[in-house]
Amino acid sequence: MAEATDTPPRDDREALQAAATQRLHPLSWLFTLIAQLRAFALPLIVLLLGGSRQEGDDIGDLIGLAAAGVLAVVSVWHYFTYRYGFLDTALVIRSGLLQRNLRLIPFDRVQNVTLHQNLLHRLVGVAEVRLESAGGMGKAEAQMQVLKLEQAHALEALVREGAHRARAAQAHEGGNSSGDDAPVLWLALPTRELVRLGLISNRGMLVVAAGFAYLTQAGDVFTKRLSNGIESVGREGIAMAEAWHLGPVAYAGLALGLLLAMVVGVRLLSVALAILQFHDFRLHAGDRELRVERGLLSRVRSHLPKRRIQAYSLSETLLHRWFGRQSLRVDRAAVEAVNEGQSVRDLVPLATPDGMDGMLAALLPPDGWPLHAWQALHPRAWWRVFAPWAVAVLAGTALLVAFEGPVGLWALVLIALAYLRARVWARYSAWTLAGGVVAFRHGWLDRHWRFAEARKLHALQVTQSPFDRRHGMATLHLDTAGASPMEPPLRIPYLAVADAEALAARLRALMPRDEGINRARTGASAAPAA
């Protein structure tokens, strides 16, 4: 875990240790043990199901019991050696017995306070508290597992109040004032909206794909059993069809029915996951920060300072338009916690376009929303999108003709579809810089908007690939502090070279005046700077 500050001077260590006097909940060792055992649960299940055991062979059981005993001792040790306390401007944490750690976490570094309650937490009346900062490198600055629910709320209030005081003092020194938070309910999702969210999303398919990917990597024994099971079911199905004397039409109907059943099953799984994750979703907004509460079995409450939002991703898929909804995700300045389930990336899982416009207008600068003054891409942008698909279709058609004969020529119909897609994509895609917000929209059946405040950009780069130079195009890459690998990059492709350079110059004038950060590069590389 990253240190929030440097090691305090030796003269101050005794005072800091004296300030850290509060303990965790007496059952915290149990929850720590459960968390540690959870990490070994899946490998153990795979070992038990896929491995082989000989009669009288108890060495595996002994090793498992010994490992569980060691983890239990470590968990109890953690409870007796972990202490925390407060100073005027910081949180003090000391832990360890053989190797003692003393950490000082200033309140103004804390960017998010997360309260997490799973079903067991709620039954016992406790909560896990996580403090996150931008320098956590994917880990929480502090993770307290667990506290009494009253203590968790008190800790949350103290940290947030301390952070607000620190920022107010900084604002006062800079001649600015900081208003008081007045949380207002922006969005609440009832169950019917969660059903729509599940029908729109692909969470069920992602879970099924991830499960199969993991299990197929578990070992040859499991893979062989899975393939044998599928083969056995297939043989029984064929034998049953032959006994019923089914014709080609009945076979096609049966296959279609099975496919439909799979689609319905995946969608129902998506609905269930949406209800589990976003049950009783509430988004509150104050003057300085946003608060998100959600979860059915595991209840999570997170805080996100508005100033930490770096970029936005607005999505409107074909199913979104069918239901009249949109979704919004954000990139935050803090490095995301390892546990994505506790992040505030899905800021608005589902909302009507009018409701989304109101929230974005409040989050962005004046005149920043709705986006306007859209500029078209290079006139030949459609060709850059169409050409790779055309080459792939021609190559696939050649292979089909070689193996199947003239019947394979039917694949050339896909060229017309690729041409239509490229034309529609290029006609809809555009960019804008207005009201201090730079944005890029694109899509065909699914439409997406990616945008950010220009003052929050950390770097920009104009690049040209060999194909770009051939067609007189360039790509403008925009970098923010919270760029996520799970989101599409913030870039504007297929620009005319003059437009890319002019836009880069306009953005440089709006970026922070920091010579180490505010820079623009023009080159022939195909990828942005790391």
Q: pLDDT digit string (tens) for 304-315?
A: 888 889 999 999
Q: pLDDT digit string (tens) for 222-259?
A: 566 666 666 666 666 666 666 666 666 666 777 788 88
217 SS3 class? coil
Q: pLDDT digit string (tens) for 380-438?
A: 999 999 999 999 988 988 888 888 778 778 888 889 999 999 999 999 999 999 999 99
Angstrom distance (rounded) from CA 371 to CA 530: 29
On whether the CB atoms of residues 56 and 45 are closer than 8 A, the answer is no
Residue bearing tokens 């202490």: 83
Q: Which helix (H) or strand (E) holds 495?
A: strand 491-496
**CA torsion sign, 209 to 210 to 213 to 218?**
negative
Nearest to 117 by CA among 323, 368, 296, 303: 296
Q: pLDDT digit string (tens) for 273-304?
A: 999 999 999 999 988 889 999 999 888 988 88
Instruction: Tell me the CA end-to-end span of the chain in Å, nearest whole number.
Output: 24
Window from 24-33, 156-165, 346-355, 499-508 with minimum mean pLDDT: 156-165
Angstrom distance (rounded) from CA 480 to CA 460: 9
Average pLDDT over residues 25-34: 88
Q: Read off the amino acid at residue 138.
A: G
Residue spans per domain, the chain: 214-271
Nearest to 334 by CA among 38, 169, 136: 136
Query: At residue 374, does pLDDT exceed 60?
Result: yes
The rounded mean pLDDT for the chain is: 79
- 444 phi, psi to nearest 5 deg: -130, -90
On whether the CB atoms of residues 508 and 520 are closer than 8 A, the answer is yes
3-state secondary structure 102-169: EEEEEHHHCCEEEEEECHHHHHHCEEEEEEECCCCCCCCCEEEEEEEHHHHHHHHHHHHHHHHHHHHH
Higher pLDDT, 218 or 316: 316
Q: pLDDT digit string (tens) for 506-528?
A: 999 988 765 444 444 434 333 33
- What's the whole-model pTM score? 0.77
Query: At residue 59, does pLDDT exceed 80?
Result: no
Angstrom distance (rounded) from CA 66 to CA 68: 5
- 337 phi, psi to nearest 5 deg: -65, 155
